[in-house]
Structure 1
Amino acid sequence: PWEGFSSNFPLEAPVDEVLAFFEPGLRTRRALGDGWPRWWPNFGPGIVAGFLGARLEPALDTVWFSSPAPGAFDELHPIRDGSNPWWLRVRELTRAAVERWGRSLTVGFTDLGGNLDILASLRSTRQLLLDLYDSPEEVARLSGEITQLWLGYYNDLYSVIGPAERGTWPWAPIWSPGRCYMLQSDFSYMISPQMFERFVLPDLEACCGALDHAFYHLDGKGEIPHLDMLLSLKDLDGIQWVSGDGAPPPEEWLPLLSRIRAGGKLCQLYVTPEGARKVVRELGGRGFAFYITEPLYPHDAQALLAELKRG
């Protein structure tokens, strides 16, 4: 599987062996429309937590993070450890991929995570929810510290990816000739807009300011209360809407999609061919980026592309 988890390989496995596993799948893929040849080192959502000491538990189709040994909250001070094995592995694999494929595809950023998602992996989700009420000042401090560490890791990976001069892309299907990322805060599904404004919005503002093109991963209806704040971010270029398990597919959220576009943001969606047709039919295609989730024969893919272009 071309998008499998690199974390499933033992840390001692040679990077060339890891990359060779993905190569057959890359050879069989074709990019149409605004698509492009690409690969990214997948170590699970929010690997920065692993860089900062959280324990990784790789599984076949995901990665679980567990918090390190508990301690006093006010004694938690995440620091960058240049010898962390997961950081070394991500950097090594990214560099090897650029050296191997840098002339033929774009190597993407690993999924770094969002500041509260990372903190939840260091504290546990349950504990962080309690911390928001019991120790909000400490949450604010740690959120800011993690944002700065995040930016440092991004810059270091960009120094590896950027020189290939094939643009950049994160774990999600967006591309930029400069520095881009799909920002996120899955934890914010569980918090109020007031908490989002205090603990997440400053992180997004800092990250958007450091990027040439920034999107936000709006994951599920629990994050919709934060949408107005996202639309107010002048340096945020677009929003990816993912409706979530058990919810209607993206094309069934037309008022929400219209609200995103009316707010001046681009919109990226994972949709079926029929889902893309419905969005174009009801809202027009301008400003939307569709990632088609169904495998298509080449002639069917070309026909769909032509149909969507006609509107």
Structure 2
Amino acid sequence: MLTASQKIELHKAYWQKNELPRPLIGYQIGSQLISENFTAAQKLLAEPREITPEMIVVEDYYEDYQRMYLDSLEIEQEAFWAAMPFPGIPWLEAILGCPIYSSEGSFWAKPCYDDINQVKIAFSPGNPWLQKLLEFVDRLVELAQNRYPIGQPILRGPVDLLGSLIGQEKLVYAFFDHPETVKKLAREAAEFYRDVVKLLRERIPSFYEGYSFGWYPLWAPDKCMIFQEDLMALGSPGIYRQFFYEGDRLLSKAFPYTTIHVHPNSFFIVDDLISIEDLNVIEINYDVGGPSIKEMVPMLRRILEKKHLILRGKMQEDDIEVIKKELPCRGIFLHIVVPEINRGRQINSFIDSLYK
């Protein structure tokens, strides 16, 4: 098994884009939708209802974190498993005033404004949803006892937040009917996102003189952040550049290390993302039903020319063979989702033999 010091050296080589014996590997064990891996959330999902902050008892989740941490030790990997506040809750939408509801298998945010011109992007330190999120971080720091790092849950980005606040259809109309308002709110949403993550990071101690992204268990030598623009799937390259590109530039320089999460249905923004100098990493989600790894190879190569890459999803042996054949062993982190420990061991043994 790799020691912690050996893992840190491999991560440093990743950031320096040195050639490695194999890509950095991290495993997520269980469902690809990580919130489904928390048994403590099931009682909130048992019936459709509105969820309030006091209904979330952080201590109820301790057994889930302990189980996931111990499971991670059963598979050899370069990653450090990271704990993060329960990722199933739409935290930012809740902080901005959206009522949160449970439904079968997930939580969702109900729009809280009827019109784009009514939207207010602001929060107070005493906001109960913000306080619950910060409490989650504080309790995880106590629980970890420096055994593993604490990171950031994936949070919805500026376009996602605006779509949640007024509804996706109304947002699409607002692009054309109220462009200046959307542009102003997009900037404010980016600033709000940055400020909330800063509050989280202020409470998270370093881990081997660095930090974990969290949702992706990639270690970085300094503070780091993940963001996304998933709802850009409803837009176009022109809409992205007009409304959200500048906000993503702001987010990209908010921390020394930043990464954006991208699905195949938003691939049209990747070239613009590559042009953002302060953005370090682009994460590509390998979606079920989306393009194959082989089909994505030209884009992955373009990313690696200028950025670091995280590739996340349910990868099989033939996918790994394509990666070995088509992509260099530098600047790549594979975050592989496996249903259980034994399957992770199988994949890891295959990778070891392939990269001999």
Q: TM-score, normalised by structure 1?
A: 0.88
- Structure 2 counterparts to residues 1-311 of structure 1, below 5 A: 3-4=34-35, 11-30=54-73, 32-44=76-88, 46-59=90-103, 61-70=105-114, 72-163=115-206, 167-220=211-264, 222-262=265-305, 264-270=306-312, 271-294=315-338, 295=340, 297=342, 300=346, 303-307=349-353, 309-310=355-356
Contact 1:243–1:250 (CA under 8 A) maintained in structure 2: yes
Taking the aligned partners of 1:300 and 1:246, their CA distance within structure 2 comes to 23
CA RMSD of aligned residues (A): 2.5
Q: Does 53-62 or 229-238 show the bigger shift?
A: 53-62
1: CA distance, partners of 2:189 / 2:41: 22
Q: Is the 8 A contact 2:301 2:327 kept in 1?
A: yes
Q: Kindly provide the amino acid, as one letter, of the partner of residue 37 in structure 1.
A: W
More deviation, 225-234/134-143: 225-234
Q: CA deviation at 1:49?
A: 1.3
1:307 maps to a residue whose letter is S
Task: Output the CA distance in 1 between the equivalents of 2:354 and 2:259.
Answer: 23
Q: Which one scores higher on RCO, CA 8 angstroms, separation ≥ 6?
A: 2
Query: Which amino acid is the alignment partner of residue 304 of structure 1?
Result: F
Structure 2, unaligned runs of 5 or more: 1-29, 45-50
3-state SS of paired residue (2:203): helix
Residue type matched to 1:33 in 2? Answer: Q
Residue identity over aligned pairs, in percent, reads 21
**What letter matches 1:28 in structure 2?**
D
C-alpha spacing 1:127/1:29, structure 2 compared with 1 (3 Å)? same
Once the two structures are superposed, what CA deviation does each residue of 1:121-162 show, in whole Å capped at 9, x if it has no partner? 101111101111110111011111111111111111001113
Look up the equivalent residue of 2:350 and give its one-letter code: L
The change in CA–CA distance for 1:102 and 1:193 in structure 2 (over 3 A counts) is farther
Q: Secondary structure at the match of 1:83?
A: coil
Q: Deviations over 1:261-285 (max 9, x none)?
A: 23x1122112234312221122232
Unmatched 5+ stretches in structure 1: none
* Counterpart-to-counterpart distance in 2, 1:256 and 1:306: 26
Checking the alignment, whether the CA contact within 8 Å between 2:213 and 2:219 is kept in structure 1 is: yes
Deviations 1:251-306 (A, max 9, x none): 442222222223x1122112234312221122232222112223453764553343
* Whole-angstrom distance in 2 between the partners of 1:233 and 1:308: 34
- Give the CA deviation at 1:209: 0.9
Structure 1 stretch displaced more, 126-135 or 288-297: 288-297
Report the residue type matching 2:221 in the other structure.
P
Decide which moves more: 251-260 or 87-96.
251-260
Q: CA deviation at 1:163?
A: 5.0
Counterpart amino acid of residue 307 in structure 2: K
SS for the counterpart of 1:240 is strand
Contact 1:41 1:94 in 2 (8 A): yes
Question: 1:157/1:307 Cα in 2 relative to 1: closer, same or farther (>3 Å)?
Answer: same
Q: Which of 241-250 and 115-124 deviates more? A: 241-250
Residues 266/69 of structure 1: CA separation in 2 closer, same or farther (3 Å cut): closer
SS in 1 for 2:204: helix
The DSSP-based 3-state class of the residue aligned with 2:61 is: helix
User: Which residue of 1 is the match for residue 47 of structure 2?
Assistant: none
